[in-house]
Structure 1
Amino acid sequence: MNGRGALQHPSGALYEGEFKDNMYHGTGTYTFPDGSSYKGPFNKNRLEGEGAFTNTQGLVWTGEFHGKAALGLKMQHNI
């Protein structure tokens, strides 16, 4: 897969965004089976860079993501 597209997993997870060499690579949104999601850059199937994670309660956390690590996330407040 190369270019933009969507991939629905049997678990219910959904990726929508850019692909390169059959991997998530570029900007995209990954929606987990529980409804939470990550929106931002991907590098070879890994979360990589400045992105936003929305949890199941709708709270949005922004910051630097590096694979499974996301140190220093900040919660966005709607005032």
Structure 2
Amino acid sequence: RYEGQYIQQDSGEMVRHGTGTFSCGADGIEQYQGSWKNDKMYGKGEFKFASGAIYKGSFVDNLFDGDGKYTWSDGATYTGSWKESKMHGNGKYIDTEHVAWKGKFYNGKYFNGKTYIIVR
């Protein structure tokens, strides 16, 4: 279910464009609220997952891309840069025991200067 702005394409098709809220799953348990561009999540928004996890930040073509914060259902968080829905660039991951991993992330892995470490 979608509530928000649309734009009509040259083909006559109406697509999500502007701001709006999309809900899906049983009782709308998953929800995206934010900006749309040509029927894709694009720009600033927030996605709430059925698992209880939440991502708030930038989207490009339905993927986390740019700055954002992801909070897992167990309370762990990552705040920083994203690329194609993976932790990528400068960021800070705090695990469930409050251990912080701050610095460079590459393709979803933490880089400590010598090796890549899978944190999640």
User: Quick check: TM above 0.5?
Assistant: yes
Larger RCO (CA under 8 A, 6+ residues apart): 1
**1-side partners of 2:111 and 2:63: how far apart?**
24
Q: Which runs of 5+ in 1 are unaligned?
A: 74-79
Q: Which residue of 1 aligns with 2:72?
A: 32
**1-side partners of 2:50 and 2:112: how far apart?**
32
Q: Which residue of 2 aligns with 1:3?
A: 43
Larger radius of gyration: 2
**2-side partners of 1:18 and 1:39: how far apart?**
12
Q: Which residue of 1 aligns with 2:93?
A: 53
The answer to whether 1:69 aligns with 2:120 is: no
The 10-residue stretch of structure 1 (52-61 or 5-14) with the greater mean CA deviation from structure 2? 52-61
Aligned residues between the structures: 73
Cα 1:68–1:20 change in 2 (3 A) is closer
Give me the TM-score of the superposition, normalised by structure 1: 0.84
**1-side partners of 2:46 and 2:108: how far apart?**
22
TM-superposition CA deviations, 1:20-51 (whole Å, max 9, x none): 11110110001111000000000111110110
Q: Which residue of 2 aligns with 1:76?
A: none
TM-superposition CA deviations, 1:41-78 (whole Å, max 9, x none): 001111101100112233322011112321218xxxxx
| Structure (1 or 2) with the greater strand fraction | 2
Sequence identity percentage: 34
RMSD: 1.4
